Structure 1
């Protein structure tokens, strides 16, 4: 009798263990059919802000001398930024480092300390796109010996992105209707929307020059892109004449 009871306990335990995946499988089978598509919307915009990463790199035999040289050059850089109308709130230190510099001695086959290098990097934002070339010239003349990068963007892209979202949803709906027609069904209610947004810069052909001798800079054009993944329900397609199709 005790053996029979143990056997039943094992059987019931196995049934309970199998019931969970079976229930999940049954639930998945009850999910209504859906059409999942992607849609894209793109809006072109003229940049109205530039961001420049600029650095002063100085080297000397002693660390204090390298730091002194770097400080003098950076003060000149800050003066240039002020002269070009760049506000303090639009200037931010991104990196400051003092690192030893080593040289390899072939005769002794070893590294030796050759000096020290000081790096001070700034991130600068400006709304004066026409003056970017002249600003770069002035920064280099003041002692900025490394331009890490220049990027253009739009200060307030909310309205532009909203328009791209409308285009993306319309594109997704169009694609869903194509699939539905091919499958002899109709697009049902909207079930979900997932979004991924970003700005893709396109290089322009026109060069913006602030002066004849200024560095040529092309702000180009930004394409604000929104991609969405949309799920629609599936409905029965209406037969010709408006009546539902025969089953």
Structure 2
């Protein structure tokens, strides 16, 4: 029995409805306790902003260590890194403004996501199967035959489906004074398009 094997791709775009932001604060003190006390005061101003509806703290990671100059201890450093998820994008500009005003060591984001990608994946799967069939029918016609029934269908061709920002933007760490903090509405941080890609491989009967 003759067979034809094709690989199809389906791509679907959706507008992101979730964002992730990573931010880090660091302080230096003569002792570990002093560094931690300074850090506590530094992050206290942003904690109210993190409790807003639609904003979730996915993780808080504290790091405290000594600094060394050769063999000599040269004070201590404390750092706290946050991973924030924003499900209500109307809160994003105000959240970023509050973070920037607190003068973080670095801030990265937003990275754009879909809160629920199930529908987009299913649509991309349908497109991938349709693409497979179109390719198979083209080969069957080129060989002077007809396309028969589907024998096998496998997900992917060594790659899994991927969701990626087609034109994502990142906000660099801001190190100016509070009075120089940029206006968030001037940074063009609207939600970007997410491309969901599905690939599949199909084996068809080739009829003469």
TM bracket (short chain):
0.7 to 0.9
> Residue 102 of structure 1 is aligned with which of 68, 75, 79?
68
In the TM superposition, residue 164 of structure 1 has moved relative to its aligned partner by: 1.1
Query: 2:15–2:193: 8 Å Cα contact kept in structure 1?
Result: yes
In the TM superposition, residue 118 of structure 1 has moved relative to its aligned partner by: 1.5
Flag the 1:204–1:61 CA change in 2: closer, same or farther, 3 A. Answer: closer
Matching of residues 1-247 of structure 1 within 5 Å? 32-82=1-51, 84-87=52-55, 90-103=56-69, 110-195=70-155, 196-203=160-167, 213-214=183-184, 216=187, 217-236=189-208
Larger Rg: 1
Instruction: With a CA cutoff of 8 Å and minimum separation of 6, indicate the structure with the bigger relative contact order.
Output: 2
Gaps of 5+ in 1: 1-31, 104-109, 206-211, 237-247
Q: Which residue of 1 aligns with 2:174?
A: none
Q: Report the secondary structure of 2:50's partner residue.
A: helix
Q: Which residue of 2 aligns with 1:245?
A: none
More strand by share: 2
Gaps of 5+ in 2: 170-181
4+ runs deviating over 4 angstroms: none
* TM-score normalised by length of structure 1: 0.69
Aligned residues: 190
More helix by share: 1
Query: 2:9–2:197: 8 Å Cα contact kept in structure 1?
Result: yes
Structure 2 CA distance, aligned partners of 1:121 and 1:130? 23
In the TM superposition, residue 201 of structure 1 has moved relative to its aligned partner by: 1.0
Flag the 1:34–1:112 CA change in 2: closer, same or farther, 3 A. Answer: farther
In the TM superposition, residue 111 of structure 1 has moved relative to its aligned partner by: 4.4
Flag the 1:94–1:188 CA change in 2: closer, same or farther, 3 A. Answer: farther
Query: 2:24–2:79: 8 Å Cα contact kept in structure 1?
Result: yes
